[in-house]
């Protein structure tokens, strides 16, 4: 049987696309293998959001080529869509699939390499490839592309215009996965713009998923702050919608936000978060911050630090600005030096770490349903499992039994914050242990 190895880096949308390809390959009787060295084909989904992502994408392609030079190498994603035409030959790529053709990647691959296809009835259940990769949550791509043009963003150039998937198609995919996984994450390049081209909204999408599926846990990927309508918070009255949002602010300075062409001011964001925290118990908010945007002064940087201190995010993804060819920001004057970027980044990392620990401490001594992900590590006194609370706080769960908790939602009581300040420790409730062990 023909086999394929799948690799990706970058955003959740890339993960969602990889999972879809895995299911489609399996439906054609093609085996998904975790070992690139023995695969007939290797598919790499690349990223180009920063220069570092470009470097990693090139390294991933080169490594795949070295591991298995006989395999047919298929590359897609933002890096391959933006790269020069000669890049494919330079890196030994057999087939480049542009972002605009991603939905046909499996068909294009099978056609290009004359892959023999088995009937779908002869294949194993398609979701099993997800669990084989150690994943207990599925990323669901609901749309692609973006109509906005933030001055630093190269992804909108690579992904193109907005395109939303029909509601019925999304619902059907989630229903298929619900027999295997307990959690789905709705994701897209511009998730908040879902349905703009179909006469729907993100609210319509979430409501439909809540009404028409039975998946226990639903999460949202990154949502632009300006896409949150006032009535959106009511959706969280349904406990299946997990109380966590990732709202990328990018800066805490209104003047920097204007240069970025961002559409949300800090005061509006603060008011929105205050309202959310009043209406939704235990909601956590995470964000992205770009450090060293062109022209960012010491005063503007201090405004960002003050803003972060006021909001107290549960986690911050911190990026040092890197100029991307073709974006307006690449032409802005007064670039910030790498030395200043590193200093500011270290400063923000320290603050973000302190805030994360503070948020975790607020959740000590409480009981949560934890979705267990992956396999345990062995300790001197038992096993340690990893998982997340509904509001997306990492938990390390200690057990003394050999009961397999993988891909289960386990009630657990949190005990303390780990020494590194990155997670909560917890223990399973005795009632759960008794039901599963007979103890």
Rounded to the nearest 10 degrees, the angle between the axes of helix 202-212 and helix 167-177 is 40
Q: Are residues 347 and 293 in the same domain?
A: yes
Residues ≥6 apart with Cβ < 8 Å to 225:
247, 248, 249, 264, 268, 269, 272
Kindly report, residue by residue over 81-107, the tens digit of the pLDDT: 888 888 888 899 999 999 989 999 999
Whether 234 maps to a domain, the answer reads: yes
Last residue in a domain, options 362, 386, 415? 362
By CB atoms closer than 10 A (0-12, 13-18, 19+), residue 381 is: exposed
Amino acid 137: pLDDT: 85
- Identify whether residues 407 and 338 lie together within a single domain: no
320 and 214, same structural domain? no
Sorted by sequence, the CB contacts under 8 Å of residue 136 that are 6+ apart come out as 181, 182, 183, 371, 372, 373, 374, 406, 407
Residue range 312-339, pLDDT digits in tens = 999 999 999 999 989 999 999 999 999 9
Domain assignment present for 174: yes
Say what the pLDDT of residue 436 is. Answer: 52
Residues 166 and 67 in one domain: no
* In the block, residue with structure tokens 């949560």: 368
pLDDT at 93: 94
The pLDDT tens digits of the residues spanning 215-265 come to 999 999 999 999 998 889 999 999 999 999 999 999 999 999 999 999 999
Give the pLDDT mean for 113-120: 74
Rounded-to-integer distance, Cα 363 and Cα 365, Å: 6
Cα distances (angstroms) measured from residue 61 to each of 93, 183, 244: 8, 31, 34
Percent of the chain at pLDDT above 90?
78
CA distance 254 to 354: 24
**pLDDT tens digits, one per residue of 181-213:** 999 999 999 999 999 999 999 999 999 999 999
> In this structure, are 162 and 265 located in the same domain?
no
Question: Mean pLDDT, the chain, as a whole number?
Answer: 91
Domain end: 217, 242, 267, which one?
A: 242
pLDDT at 61 over 80: yes
Judged against a pLDDT cut of 50, whether residue 128 lies above it is answered with no
How far is residue 360's CA from residue 373's CA, in Å, rounded to a whole number? 19
* Residue 154 pLDDT grade (very low, low, confident, very high; cuts 50, 70, 90): very high
Structural domain contains residue 128: no
Looking at the structure, do residues 377 and 327 belong to the same domain, yes or no? no
Same domain, 207 and 308: no
Give CA–CA dist 264/349, Å, rounded: 23
Q: Does residue 150 fall inside a structural domain?
A: yes
Instruction: For residues 276 and 331, state if they share a domain.
Output: yes
pTM (2 d.p.): 0.89
pLDDT of residue 432 exceeding 80, the answer is no
Q: Which domain holds residue 286?
A: 246-362
Asked if residue 131 is part of any domain, the answer here is no
127 part of a folded domain: no
Q: What does the alpha-carbon distance between residue 218 and residue 216 come to, in Å, rounded to a whole number?
A: 7
- Give tens-digit pLDDT for 277-311: 999 999 999 999 999 999 999 999 999 999 999 99
CATH number, position 192: 3.30.750.210
Alpha helices (H) along 188-248 = 202-212
Q: Is residue 227 part of a domain?
A: yes
Domain limit, last residue, from 344, 362, 380: 362
Distance, in Å, from the CA atom of 300 to the CA atom of 172, rounded to the nearest integer, reads 47
- Which residue is it, tokens 């990328």? 248
What is the count of structural domains for the chain? 4
Instruction: Please tell me the distance from the alpha carbon of residue 140 to that of residue 138, in angstroms, as a whole number.
Output: 6
CATH number for 71: 3.40.50.12160
CATH number, domain with residue 385 = 2.40.50
Whether residue 345 is found in the same domain as residue 391: no
Residue 121 has pLDDT above 50, yes or no: no
For 126-140, b/e burial (b = at least 16 CB within 10 A) is: bbebbeeeebbbbbb
* Cβ contact 296:256 at 8 Å: yes
Residues 6+ apart with CB under 8 A from 276: 233, 245, 283, 285
Q: Do residues 157 and 58 share a domain?
A: no
Name beta bridge partners: 290.
Answer: 319
User: Which residue carries 């690799």 as its tokens?
Assistant: 7
- Category of 183 on φ-ψ map: left (φ > 0), alpha (ψ -120 to 50) or beta: beta
Instruction: Answer yes or no: do 261 and 342 share one domain.
Output: yes
Instruction: Please name the helix (run of DSSP H) or strand (run of DSSP E) that holds residue 303, with its range, or none.
Output: helix 298-311
160 inside domain: yes
Mean pLDDT value across residues 347-353: 97
pLDDT at 434: 52
CA distances, 353 to each of 78, 288, 333 (Å):
31, 14, 32
In this prediction, residue 73 carries a pLDDT of 96
- Same domain as 237, residue 209: yes
């Amino acid at each position: 049987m023909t086999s394929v190895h799948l690799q990706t880096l970058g955003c959740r949308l890339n993960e969602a696309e990889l999972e879809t390809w895995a299911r489609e390959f399996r439906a054609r009787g093609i085996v998904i293998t975790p070992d690139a060295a023995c695969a007939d084909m290797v598919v790499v989904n690349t990223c180009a959001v920063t220069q570092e992502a470009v470097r990693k994408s090139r390294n991933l392609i080169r490594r795949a080529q070295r591991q298995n030079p006989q395999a047919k190498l298929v590359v897609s994603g933002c890096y391959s869509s933006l790269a020069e035409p000669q890049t494919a030959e330079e890196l030994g790529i057999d087939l480049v699939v542009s972002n605009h053709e991603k939905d046909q990647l499996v068909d294009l691959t099978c056609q290009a390499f004359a892959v023999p296809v088995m009937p779908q009835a002869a294949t194993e259940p398609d979701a099993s490839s997800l669990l084989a990769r150690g994943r207990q949550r599925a990323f669901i791509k609901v749309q692609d592309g973006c109509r906005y043009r933030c001055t630093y963003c190269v992804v909108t150039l690579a992904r193109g215009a907005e395109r939303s998937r029909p509601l019925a198609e999304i619902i059907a995919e989630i229903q298929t996965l619900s027999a295997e996984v307990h959690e789905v994450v709705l994701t897209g390049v511009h998730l908040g713009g879902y349905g703009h081209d179909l006469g729907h909204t993100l609210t319509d999408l979430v409501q439909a998923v809540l009404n028409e599926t039975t998946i226990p846990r639903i999460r949202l990927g990154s949502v632009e702050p300006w896409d949150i309508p006032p009535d959106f918070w009511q959706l969280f009255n349904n406990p299946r919608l997990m109380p966590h949002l990732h709202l990328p602010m990018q800066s805490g300075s209104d003047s920097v936000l204007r240069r970025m062409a961002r559409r949300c001011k800090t005061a509006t964001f603060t008011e929105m978060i205050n309202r959310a925290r009043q209406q939704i118990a235990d909601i956590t908010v995470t964000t992205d911050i770009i450090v060293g945007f062109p022209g960012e002064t010491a005063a503007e940087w201090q405004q960002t630090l003050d803003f972060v201190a006021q909001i107290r995010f549960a986690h911050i993804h911190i990026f040092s600005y890197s100029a991307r060819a073709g974006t307006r920001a690449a032409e802005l004057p007064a670039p910030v030096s790498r030395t200043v970027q590193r200093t500011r980044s270290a400063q923000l990392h320290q603050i973000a770490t302190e805030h994360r620990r503070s948020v975790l401490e607020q959740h000590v001594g409480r009981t949560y349903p934890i979705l267990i992900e992956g396999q345990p590590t062995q300790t001197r006194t038992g096993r340690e499992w990893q998982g997340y609370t509904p509001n997306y706080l990492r938990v390390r769960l200690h057990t003394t039994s050999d009961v397999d908790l993988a891909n289960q939602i386990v009630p657990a009581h949190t005990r303390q914050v780990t020494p590194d300040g990155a997670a909560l420790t917890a223990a399973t409730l005795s009632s759960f242990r008794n039901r599963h062990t007979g103890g």
